[in-house]
């Protein structure tokens, strides 16, 4: 079984990205043949600064490796290193009804807000379909928000198969554990676009400052408090054992503990949790060449598979083998 997923390099990864996606990708690398890539072509629809995109892409690779992605188990590569993906995208576009893309939320939401949308954003789901279909992927772990795109992928693959015979493998979405939806410092879903994130590898001081700014109610220290509705407690749960959670919940209910103290406990737990990854990351930052080599080896491996599938599709639709 091939598991495949991509993550966009549109900023530094935050706690939501880790608990909602990255941690689960890493767990899957043990059992299946995993392909993970950094979706830099997709990121072009939002990051319009060359230096920044390059920086985010390399940082994404460094962070994934530091967090436990093992290049001996999983194939890690950069989307744009595989030119076959854009060629397959063109072929898929010729089998994609406009009406299918008009329904897709990223584009629809932008139009609804009266914002200008480009053809890149409009056809974004077809590039995603090419990402998936190019490697005969069976399972695609994604967040809820991406399930619609996997359905588009299946629809388009079915259209191609109908026209040209059974050429493409139909993938299935594996919806990531939604219990892991992480709130941001304002209590809304943590997301770069809301400016409420705590980055995984934030330096100690700004991380502490952000944690101290997490929104709580204004109960005084002595009041009994409700852990279930508290953002600080919800975040603490991510980093602690069930015994530690029970203990803190009891202290909330008993009263006598202020939110400042709970935030300090959260800070300590989060810092400790990512400590080994932070140490690995420091090593990788000093040795960027190793990271580039990992991406290169990954791309070579992925490309072999991609070329095989693209050849199959080209033959099926009458383009035949490439002459050069
Ligand atoms: P952002 O919303 O910050 O731009 P992305 O859309 O790039 O993040 O998300 C990348 C991955 O991380 C997706 O699989 C998404 O489901 C997951 N993710 C992002 N934010 C959260 C969150 N607050 N809780 C759980 N998962 C999240
Ligand atoms: N669109 C996905 C996201 O924003 C990233 C992505 C690009 C992806 N191509 C993919 C995910 C292929 C899974 C499979 O999260």
pLDDT digits (tens, 9 = 90+) for 92-142: 999 999 999 999 998 998 899 998 899 999 999 999 999 999 999 999 999
Does 110 qualify as catalytic in the annotation?
yes
Q: From 45, 80, 128, give the residue whose CB has the most ligand 2 atoms within 8 Å, as the site to mutate.
A: 128
Q: Encoding tokens for residue 67? A: 């967090």
Out of 8-12, 177-181, 251-255, 269-273, least confident range? 177-181
Q: Which of 3, 9, 105, 142 to mutate to test the pocket of ligand 2 (most atoms within 8 A of CB)?
A: 142
Q: How confident is the model at residue 61 (pLDDT cuts 50, 70, 90)?
A: very high
Over residues 153-179, mean pLDDT: 93
**Is 2-181+287-317 in CATH node 3.60.150.10?**
no
CB-ligand 1 contact for 8 (6 Å cutoff): yes
Taking the centre of ligand 1 as the mean of its atom positions, its distance from the CA of residue 16, in whole angstroms, is 6
Q: Give the rounded percent of residues in the chain with a pLDDT score beyond 70.
A: 99
Catalytic hit among 103, 159, 181, 189: 189
Q: Which helix (H) or strand (E) holds 140?
A: strand 139-142
Write down the mean pLDDT value for the chain: 95
Indicate which residue of 192, 210, 225, 305 is catalytic. 192
Residue of minimum CA distance from atom 18 in ligand 1: 17
With the most atoms of ligand 2 within 8 angstroms of its CB, the residue from 28, 34, 39 to mutate is 39
Q: pLDDT by residue (tens digit) across 272-321?
A: 999 999 999 999 999 999 999 999 999 999 999 999 999 999 999 999 98
Q: Give the tokens for residue 165.
A: 């015979």
Q: At a CB cut-off of 8 Å and minimum separation 6, what does 278 contact? A: 66, 201
Q: What is the homologous superfamily of the domain 202-273 according to CATH? A: Tyrosyl-Transfer RNA Synthetase (1.10.240.10)
Domain spans, the chain: 2-181+287-317, 202-273
The residue-averaged pLDDT of 36-51 equals 97
Residue closest by Cα to atom 6 of ligand 2: 6
Tell which atom from ligand 2 comes closest to the C-alpha of 124.
1
What is the structure's pLDDT at 179? 61
Give pTM, 2 decimals: 0.95
Mean pLDDT over 209-235 rounds to 96
pLDDT (0 to 100) of residue 103: 94
Ligand 1 site, residue 17, Cβ cutoff 6 A: yes
Question: How many Å apart are CA 251 and CA 240, to the nearest integer?
Answer: 15
Whole-angstrom distance, CA of residue 43 vs CA of residue 24 = 22
Q: Are residues 190 and 196 in contact, defined by beta-carbon separation less than 8 angstroms?
A: yes
Which ligand number lies closest to the CA of residue 11?
1
Q: 110, 159, 181, 215: which is the annotated catalytic residue?
A: 110
Cβ < 6 A, ligand 2 pocket? 4-8, 39, 42, 128, 131-132, 140, 142, 146
pLDDT range class, residue 44, cuts 50, 70, 90? very high
Closest CA to 18 of 143, 188, 106: 143
For this structure, is 263 an active site residue? no
202-273 has the same fold as 2-181+287-317? no
Nearest CA to ligand 2 atom 13: 5
The answer to whether 85 and 130 have CB atoms below 8 angstroms apart is: yes
**23 Cβ inside 6 Å of ligand 1:** no
Q: What is the mean pLDDT of residues 153-161?
A: 98
**DSSP 8-state class, residue 215:** -
pLDDT of residue 180: 65
**pLDDT at position 324 over 90:** no
């Amino acid at each position: 079984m091939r598991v495949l997923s991509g993550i966009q390099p549109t900023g530094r990864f935050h706690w939501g990205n880790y608990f909602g996606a990255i941690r689960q990708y890493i767990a899957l690398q043990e059992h299946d043949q995993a392909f993970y890539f950094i979706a830099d072509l997709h990121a072009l629809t939002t990051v319009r600064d060359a230096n920044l995109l390059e920086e985010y892409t390399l940082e994404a690779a460094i962070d994934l490796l530091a967090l436990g992605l093992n290049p001996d188990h999983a194939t890690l590569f950069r989307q744009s290193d595989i030119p076959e993906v854009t060629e397959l995208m063109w072929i898929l576009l010729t089998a994609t009804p406009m009406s299918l893309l008009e329904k897709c939320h990223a584009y629809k939401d932008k139009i609804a807000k009266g914002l200008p949308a480009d053809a890149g954003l409009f056809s974004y789901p077809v590039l995603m379909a090419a990402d998936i279909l190019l490697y005969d992927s069976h399972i695609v772990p994604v967040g809820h928000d991406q399930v619609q795109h996997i359905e588009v992928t299946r629809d388009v693959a079915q259209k191609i198969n109908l026209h040209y015979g059974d050429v493409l493998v139909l993938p299935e979405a594996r919806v990531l554990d939604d219990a892991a939806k992480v709130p941001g410092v304002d209590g809304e879903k943590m997301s770069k676009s809301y400016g409420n994130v705590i980055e995984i590898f934030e330096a100690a001081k700004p991380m502490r400052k952000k944690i101290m700014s997490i929104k709580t109610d204004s109960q005084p220290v002595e009041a009994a408090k409700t852990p279930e509705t508290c953002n600080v407690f919800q975040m603490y749960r991510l980093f602690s054992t069930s015994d530690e959670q029970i203990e803190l919940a009891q202290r909330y209910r008993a009263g006598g503990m202020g939110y400042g103290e709970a935030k300090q406990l959260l800070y300590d737990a989060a810092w400790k949790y990512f400590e080994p990854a932070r140490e690995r990351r420091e090593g990788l930052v000093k040795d960027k060449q190793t990271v580039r080599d990992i991406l290169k080896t990954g791309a070579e491996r992925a490309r072999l598979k991609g070329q095989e599938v693209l050849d199959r599709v080209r033959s099926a639709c009458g383009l035949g083998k490439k002459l050069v």
